[in-house]
A = this chain, B = another copy of it.
Amino acid sequence: MASRTPAPATAVEQVDTSYLESLVGYNARRATLVIMDAFFRQMAVYGLRPVDFSVLSLIAHNPGITSRQLCTSLSIQPPNLVGMINQLQRRELITRRPHPHDGRAMGLHLTATGKKLVKQAEVTAAELEDQATVRLTATERRTLMQLLRKIYIP
């Protein structure tokens, strides 16, 4: 080999991602993106985004919940919820009723149509859960949930 040849810029054949793959944050993010992507595509069948599903599901399990309570539970800024609620109401999936104790607030409730839609969407969500964890045993799935909770619950 000629000794005066300057070190050539090397080309990367195969990208080495092993360092990033050693980080819990990287793996958690990748797994979340895969699950959310499937969730996004399947919920689109019902005209819902993941956040719409979360909102409707919380209303289903908490009839009379207020916008403020939704915002706190889902970490949504109040101005960003207004449009969602309006749209769900225009689609006649939810109704607003006066809050029993607080004249400023409105209690949110599902309509019959809304209840039917949430029921279907939750079946789809269960199927998505099965698909996402198809390579896990039932025990591994429980373990995964426990370990994830240990990370985000203080």
Contacts and interface: CB of A to CB of B under 8 A. Distances in A.
A120 interface: no
Contacts of A34: 151-152
A133 interface: yes
B65 A15 contact: yes
B27 A57 contact: no
A128 B18 CA distance: 18
Contacts of A19: 57, 61, 122
A132 B154 CA distance: 11
B32 A28 contact: yes
A129 to B, nearest CB: 6
Interface string A7-25: 0111110011111110111
